[in-house]
């Protein structure tokens, strides 16, 4: 008995050691990620320093005569998939242009949580870029934290001499007709695939839902994988990346508006039910990775890059976010999520990341000067070069720019071709109170534990709750 006990202890020990080793691996992985991020920043920083030298000289010569804008300017910006090198450069140029202004950066991946106490105590920063976890434009407007920019916007001109309100690709969100934020980043969700693999294997890039299903079927047969993956921990990736454009294609701006405002009976409409049936069809065919329920966004993206899956719905930031983990032979391909019926153009619903000025800003003049300063062709081009995404400003020509990745040039050309892509709009983002319960039921539908009818019941109950009934 003693011997068998000792043996079981040996087994327990070796298991323990193995787990410890794994823990160490996990730890290293984390560190590696952090190092990569640091490296990223460092390389961004180098760029910034070099390019700044040129801009600073220019800035100083222009800087005179702007002395009225002075003092401390606090800027809060979230650093996520797009990195912070663009911000560093813009702010540095702004300081050169306005030498009497000292900019304080409040930046980082958790900055929204870190700055929360400042907003709660009515001592907010002057300018805020609203993006990332822990931030909500709708909530900030409801709480009266953002300055009404309606009148100011009608007068302001950009440094390029254009009327700013006429220069946006997508107009600012309105709340009861008032403008509280200016859309800075033209984000859009879509579906990514490995273009190199598709070319090598001869897979057809989907152009509508039917061809999407047939390509997924072919990949499932050939590769023996579930072709589609997304994050189940954040179901809004699927909601914003796949369903929202699907609803845009099926019912236009009107349907999108009814969905985000929680209109009674909207989920029971024929065109909505038809889209949900498409999701159920993907699940029943076994095209959705059955492990997606527990994946966070990084895990799902890693699986996609490792070839465990072939399609993933993410925004434009994916290549930048995963730059350090992308295999060498991997080539990013982007299409708007192909949920539309045959013969219809792809649908895109821009997801805008805005810049706003705090209602209680200490230095509103400097804040306005900064917002004016940012919306120029120069910084819009730089934005695409630094982040691989698009700034929400018209007339930026990326087609000849060597510093912009190929997928962005192709996607940009596609988005600007109305025969290929139709752009739809929603009045404002969906509130977390509505998005969360709908997202939960959506996960269940995609896992196959509830039916389309049950999903619709849940979604209707969520909209009723949201309307306060």
Partner 1 sequence: MVQTKKQKYLFLAFCLVPTFILFAIFTLYPLFSGLYFSFFSWSGSAAAREFIGIDNYIRLFNDGIIPRTILHDYFLVITKVFGIMVLAMYFAVAIMQMKIKEAPFYRIIFFFPNIMSVVVIGILWTFIYNPSMGLINSGLEAVGLEQLARPWLGSETWALPAIVLPSIWAGIGLFMLMLMGGIGTISKSYYEAAELDGANEWQQFWKVTVPLLWPQIKVAVLYIVITTLNGSFIIVQIMTGGGPNNSTHVMGSYLYQQAFQQYNFGYGATIGVMILVLSLLTVFLLQKLMKREKVQY
Rank residues 54 and 327 by Cβ distance to partner 1 and give the closer one: 327
In this chain, which of 26, 54, 71, 427 binds partner 1, going by CB under 8 A? 26
30 binds partner 1 (CB under 8 A): yes
Instruction: List the one residue out of 277, 244, 246, 272 whose CA is nearest residue 260.
Output: 244
Residue 120 binds partner 1 (CB under 8 A): yes
| In the complex, minimum distance from the CB of residue 257 to partner 1, in angstroms, rounded to a whole number | 22
Q: Please pick, from the candidates 7, 11, 19, 38, the single residue that binds partner 1 as defined by CB under 8 A.
A: 19
Question: For residues 429 and 464, is the Cβ–Cβ distance under 8 A?
Answer: no
Least distance (Å) from partner 1 to the CB of residue 359?
10
Answer for which of 56, 66, 136, 283 binds partner 1 (CB under 8 A) is 136
Q: How far is the CB of 259 from partner 1 (least distance, A)?
A: 18
Among the listed residues 11, 23, 32, 464, the single contact to partner 1 using CB under 8 A: 23
11 touching partner 1, by CB under 8 A: no
Which residues touch 107 (CB under 8 Å, ≥6 apart)? 75, 76, 77, 78, 79, 84, 87
| Total site size for partner 1, rule CB under 8 A | 54
Range 111-132 burial, b when 16+ CB lie within 10 A, else e: bbeebeeebeeeebbbbbbbbb
> Looking at 38, 57, 294, 413, which residue binds partner 1 (CB under 8 A)?
294
- The whole-angstrom separation of Cα 189 and Cα 411 is 11
Q: Does 228 bind partner 1 (CB under 8 A)?
A: no
Q: Which stretch binds partner 1 (CB under 8 A): 36-44, 172-180, 414-422, 441-449?
A: 441-449
Q: Which helix (H) or strand (E) holds 355?
A: strand 350-357
Please pick, from the candidates 142, 201, 329, 417, the single residue that binds partner 1 as defined by CB under 8 A: 142
* Pick from 137, 191, 168, 161: nearest CA to 314: 191
d(CA 368, CA 379): 16
Nearer to partner 1, 266 or 438 (CB): 438
Please identify which residue in 140, 179, 366, 462 interacts with partner 1, judged by CB under 8 A: 140
Position 447 contacts partner 1 (CB under 8 A): yes
Choosing from 39, 277, 440, 453, the residue that interacts with partner 1 (CB under 8 A) is: 440
Among 134, 265, 327, 427, binds partner 1 (CB under 8 A): 134
Binding flag, residue 280, partner 1 (CB under 8 A): no
3 state DSSP class of 182: strand
Q: Which stretch binds partner 1 (CB under 8 A): 62-70, 103-111, 174-182, 232-240?
A: 232-240
φ and ψ at 236, to 5 degrees? Answer: -65, -20
> Which positions ≥6 away from 102 have C-beta within 8 Å?
71, 72, 73, 95
Give yes or no for a contact between 355 and 128, defined as CB atoms under 8 angstroms apart. Answer: yes
Q: How far is the CB of 135 from partner 1 (least distance, A)?
A: 9
Helix axes 85-97, 364-374, angle to 10 degrees: 120
Complex with partner 1: residue 195 or 302, whichever CB lies closer: 302
Q: Can residue 9 be called a binding residue for partner 1 (CB under 8 A)?
A: yes
Q: Per rule CB under 8 A, is residue 151 in the interface with partner 1?
A: no
Q: Is 33 in the site for partner 1 (CB under 8 A)?
A: no
Tokens of 232: 């189940």
What stretches of 359-451 show up as alpha helix (H) in DSSP?
A: 364-374, 377-387, 406-415, 432-447
Site string for partner 1, 234-273 (x = CB under 8 A): xx--------------------------------------
CA dihedral 382, 388, 394, 398 (to 10 degrees): 80
Beta-strand relationship, 332-335 and 127-129: unpaired
Which of 20/403 has CB closer to partner 1? 20
Residue 17 binds partner 1, judged by CB under 8 A: yes
Which of 203, 295, 311, 375 is the binder for partner 1 (CB under 8 A)? 295
Find residue 78's DSSP bridge partners.
108
DSSP 332: E
**From residue 373, how far is each of 48, 154, 181, 184 by CA, in Å?**
17, 16, 15, 12
- Judged by the rule CB under 8 A, the positions of this chain that interact with partner 1 are 2, 5-6, 9, 12-13, 16-17, 19-20, 22-23, 26-27, 30, 113, 116, 119-122, 133-134, 136, 139-140, 142-145, 232-235, 289-296, 299, 303, 308, 432-433, 436, 440-441, 443-444, 447, 449
């Amino acid at each position: 008995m003693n011997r068998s006990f000792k043996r079981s202890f040996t087994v327990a020990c070796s298991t323990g050691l193995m787990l410890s080793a794994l823990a160490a691996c996990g730890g290293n992985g984390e560190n590696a990620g952090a190092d990569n991020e640091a490296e990223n920043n460092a390389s961004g920083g180098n760029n910034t320093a070099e390019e700044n030298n040129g801009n600073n000289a220019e800035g100083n010569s222009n800087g005179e005569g702007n002395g009225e804008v002075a003092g401390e300017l606090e800027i809060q910006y979230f650093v996520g998939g797009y990195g912070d090198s663009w911000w560093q450069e813009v702010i540095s140029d702004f300081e050169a242009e306005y030498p009497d202004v000292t900019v304080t950066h409040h930046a980082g991946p958790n900055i929204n949580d870190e700055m929360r106490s400042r907003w709660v105590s009515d001592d907010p920063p002057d300018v805020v870029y609203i993006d990332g976890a822990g931030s909500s434009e709708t909530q900030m407007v409801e709480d009266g934290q953002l300055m009404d920019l309606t009148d100011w916007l009608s007068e302001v001109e950009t440094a390029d001499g254009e009327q700013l309100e006429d220069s946006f690709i997508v107009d600012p969100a309105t709340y009861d007709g008032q403008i509280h934020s200016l859309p800075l980043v033209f984000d859009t969700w879509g579906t990514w695939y490995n273009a190199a693999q598709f070319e090598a294997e001869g897979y057809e890039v989907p152009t509508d839902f039917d061809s999407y299903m047939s390509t997924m079927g072919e990949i499932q047969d050939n590769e023996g994988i579930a072709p589609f993956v997304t994050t189940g921990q954040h179901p809004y990736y699927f909601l914003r990346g796949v369903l929202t454009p699907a609803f845009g294609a099926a019912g236009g701006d009107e349907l999108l508006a009814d969905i985000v405002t929680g209109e009674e009976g909207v989920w029971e409409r024929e065109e909505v039910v038809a889209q949900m049936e498409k999701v159920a069809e993907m699940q029943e065919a076994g095209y959705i990775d059955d492990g997606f329920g527990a994946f966070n966004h990084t895990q799902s993206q890693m699986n996609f890059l490792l070839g465990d899956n072939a399609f993933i719905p993410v925004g434009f930031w994916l290549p930048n976010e995963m730059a350090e983990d992308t295999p060498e032979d991997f080539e990013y391909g982007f299409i708007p999520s192909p949920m539309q019926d045959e013969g219809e153009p792809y649908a895109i619903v821009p997801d805008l990341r805005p810049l706003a000025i705090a209602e209680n800003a200490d230095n509103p003049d400097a804040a306005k000067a900064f917002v004016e300063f940012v919306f120029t062709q120069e910084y819009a081009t730089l934005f695409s070069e630094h982040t691989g995404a698009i700034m929400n400003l018209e007339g930026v020509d990326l087609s000849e720019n060597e510093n912009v990745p190929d997928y962005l040039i192709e996607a940009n050309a596609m988005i600007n071709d109305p025969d290929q892509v139709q752009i739809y709009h929603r009045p404002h983002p969906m509130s977390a109170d509505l998005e969360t319960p709908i997202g939960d039921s959506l996960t269940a539908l995609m896992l196959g534990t509830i039916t389309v009818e049950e999903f619709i019941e849940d979604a209707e109950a969520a909209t009723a709750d949201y309307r306060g009934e």
